[in-house]
């Protein structure tokens, strides 16, 4: 997941040369929304697992009534 090579950075992003406060690049906004949705989905799965709440749809036991008791 980390930086995996060392090519040119040129990381000014949407920074302007005129000294104004740089804006967040568009790709960050768009991909940020996608990532946020993904993180929320994982949290929705994680919370029931952490607090021992049965999700109702996961695990073989949920699919095989009485077979693993």
In the region spanning residues 28 to 47, those forming contacts with another protein, defined by CB under 8 A, are 28, 31-32, 35, 38-39, 42, 45-46
Please say whether the beta carbons of 54 and 61 come within 8 A: no
Exactly one of 1, 18, 20, 65 binds another protein (CB under 8 A); which one? 1
* DSSP-derived 3-state class of residue 30: helix
Q: Does 27 bind another protein (CB under 8 A)?
A: yes
* DSSP-derived 3-state class of residue 14: strand
Enumerate residues 6+ apart whose C-beta is below 8 A from 68.
Answer: 60, 61
**What residue ranges bind another protein (CB under 8 A)?**
1-15, 22, 24-25, 27-28, 31-32, 35, 38-39, 42, 45-46, 49, 57-64, 67-68
């Amino acid at each position: 997941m980390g930086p995996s090579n060392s090519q040119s950075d040129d990381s000014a992003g949407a920074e302007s040369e005129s000294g104004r406060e740089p804006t967040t690049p568009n790709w960050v906004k768009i991909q940020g929304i996608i990532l946020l949705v993904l993180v929320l989905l994982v949290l929705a799965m994680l919370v029931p697992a952490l607090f021992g709440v049965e999700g109702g749809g996961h695990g073989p036991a949920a699919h095989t009534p009485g077979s693993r008791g």
